[in-house]
Amino acid sequence: MRGRRWIVIGVICLLTALLIVIVGVWLSISRFNLQQVVMPGSVEFEMDTPGPFYLTYEPRTNLNGTWYVSPVESRMTFELVSLDGAPDAIIEAPLVAANYSFIGRHGHYIGKAELDAGLWRLTGSTPPGDDHSGVYAFGRTSITAVVIPVLAAAFAAALLGPVGLGLLIVGIILHVHGRKRARRASQPPPEG
């Protein structure tokens, strides 16, 4: 009976590790809320509270059921203008290159700005003679908000998964040895 307990505990640990990974991925995807827009052009949006604003470029992406494929590197220039009288914001290049690829969206972070609360206009324009358009996304989702849940889940699963597997193996070994002992004990002693 001892081996069965180890097996059950091992299976529970493995299933828990799998559940942790699923929850981590779900949290990551649910936090990703960058709004897509086709540029060149402009879009107005509201910042409820002051804070960071992120801009990404999605050279291969699905927008409203249509696939867009654009050059790998963006040639668009952007401007952030406050519609409430706050100073215009400067979009700075990110300190670290960060890519994402999920839910039919493939992109990378190209800029960040600190914005005051209020109404803003993001305008994207191309150099004269360049007629390319592309899909960009903007919002408050940082790459850490997307990556941290997945990394934390992977770390927890990496700790719990091997423990569960080890317990499962020990349980199987104990169960097999216990059955052999029970079989030997149930055999009549040899005559002689």
Answer whether residue 155 is part of any domain: yes
Alpha carbons 31 and 8: distance in angstroms, whole number = 34
pLDDT single digits (tens) 96-149: 788 888 778 888 999 999 999 999 999 999 888 887 889 999 998 777 777 788
Domain count across the chain = 2
Banded pLDDT at 37 (limits 50, 70, 90): very high
Residues 38 and 75 in one domain: yes
**pTM (two decimals):** 0.69
Residues 106 and 39 in one domain: yes
Answer whether residue 191 is part of any domain: no
For residue 149, say if its preceding peptide bond is cis, omega within 30 degrees of 0: no
Which of the two residues, 121 and 70, has the higher pLDDT score? Answer: 121
Task: Detail the DSSP E strand segments found in the chain.
Answer: 35-39, 41-47, 51-63, 66-69, 77-82, 99-102, 105-115, 118-125, 134-139
Alpha carbons 124 and 78: distance in angstroms, whole number = 5
Answer whether residue 106 is part of any domain: yes
Answer whether residue 28 is part of any domain: no
Answer whether residue 77 is part of any domain: yes
Residues 163 and 93 in one domain: no
Question: 64 is in which domain, residue-wise?
Answer: 33-140
Residues 120 and 89 in one domain: yes
Residues 95 and 40 in one domain: yes
Residues 37 and 130 in one domain: yes
